[in-house]
Amino acid sequence: MIENHALQYRQAAEDALEQLDWCIGYLHGIGKRPITRQLARNRAYIRRNLMREAAEPLPSEGGSKPGKAVIRG
């Protein structure tokens, strides 16, 4: 039961990070680069230190574009 709750919280965190990825891509696309750099740093910190995953590249380094869904298997 505890493991099930942990999986639910992890899925919720991953969903929130996907939404943050979209926001970063959108803001980058409309030229709000200082904001996107800081949000991307925050996202990388969360992924690296809280979720124990590798950080994804910054939008300027080839990240996702606004409106483009990320499909994970």
Question: pTM for this structure?
Answer: 0.66
* Pairwise CA distance, residues 70 & 53, whole Å: 17
- Asked if residue 55 belongs to a domain, the reply is yes
* Pairwise CA distance, residues 50 & 16, whole Å: 13
Find the domain containing 13 and state its range: 2-61
Instruction: Specify the DSSP element, H or E, that contains 37.
Output: helix 33-45
72 versus 35: which is more confidently predicted? Answer: 35
- Asked if residue 51 belongs to a domain, the reply is yes
* Pairwise CA distance, residues 28 & 22, whole Å: 10
- Asked if residue 10 belongs to a domain, the reply is yes
The DSSP 8-state label assigned to residue 1 in this structure reads: -
- Asked if residue 70 belongs to a domain, the reply is no
State the total domains in the chain: 1
- Asked if residue 73 belongs to a domain, the reply is no
- Asked if residue 69 belongs to a domain, the reply is no
- Asked if residue 18 belongs to a domain, the reply is yes
16-67 tens-digit pLDDT = 999 999 999 999 999 999 999 999 999 999 888 888 777 666 555 555 444 4
